Structure 1
Amino acid sequence: MSARFITLGLLALLALVQAELWLGKNGLPRVMELQSRLDDQQARNQDARLRNDRLAAEVRDLKEGLEMVEEKARLELGMVKPDEIFVQVMPR
């Protein structure tokens, strides 16, 4: 008789632990929410990594060669060399 009560008690404790695992505060729904947030953050980190790589390549180009500096000056600032005539063709 006492073995039967022990078995029933252990089964009740097992059911309680399982219920806490599946439905509790830190159970499966919380784990799924955190996994979703982790996936979103990893995607943002990957985007930032790509942007940083592009910026690092641009900085490296600016440090290594004057061609990039000249190109930036011409395109972004509209600068011209001495004795150079700037001609702009407008599309119709």
Structure 2
Amino acid sequence: MRLITLALAALLLLIQFPLWTGKGGWLRVADMEAQVAQAHQKNMELKARNAKLESEVRDLKDGTGAVEERARYELGMVKQNEIFVQIVRKGQLPPMTETPAATAAPH
């Protein structure tokens, strides 16, 4: 009787083995579900990024506010009759501004 019980237990384990580790096994399914969740997360991040870029493109096409903002912050441009004030904190280097002396070739 003990031999039959051991044989049936061994058969049960052999039947269970493909269920856990086989091509369509539970471990593989769990791994695939994790990959799908990760892909969904990446897609959501990319959709948010695309929406932000689309909004920025729309602003650049339709309005002048975005163009003015970029000109001010990226190029350092100011309007006519406007005074530019820059506050530099202790230990902070001022942004590099290109001057004619800096671009001149050394003699």
TM-score, with length taken from structure 1: 0.69
- What is aligned with 1:85? 83
- 1:38 paired with 2:45, answer no
What displacement does 1:25 show? 2.2
TM-score, with length taken from structure 2: 0.61
Task: State, as a whole percentage, how many aligned pairs show the same letter.
Answer: 45
- What is aligned with 1:47? 45
- What is aligned with 1:71? 69
Q: Which runs of 5+ in 1 are unaligned?
A: 1-11
Q: Higher relative contact order at CA 8 Å, sep ≥6: structure 1 or structure 2?
A: 1
Matched residue SS, 2:84: coil
* Alignment partners' CA distance in 1, 2:18 and 2:39: 28
* Deviation readout 1:16-60 (Å, 9 max, x if unpaired): 5x7644442222111111000000010000000001101100110
| Higher normalized helix content (fraction of residues) | 1
Matched residue SS, 1:89: coil
Q: For residue 59 of structure 1, what is the amino acid of its counterpart?
A: V
Q: For residue 66 of structure 1, what is the amino acid of its counterpart?
A: T
Paired residues for 1:2-13 under 5 Å: none
Q: Please identify runs of 4+ aligned residues in structure 1 that moved more than 6 A.
A: none
* Alignment partners' CA distance in 1, 2:35 and 2:50: 22
> Cα RMSD (Å) of the superposition?
2.2
Paired residues of 2:21 and 2:28 also in contact (CA < 8 A): no
Change (3 A) 1:90 1:22: closer
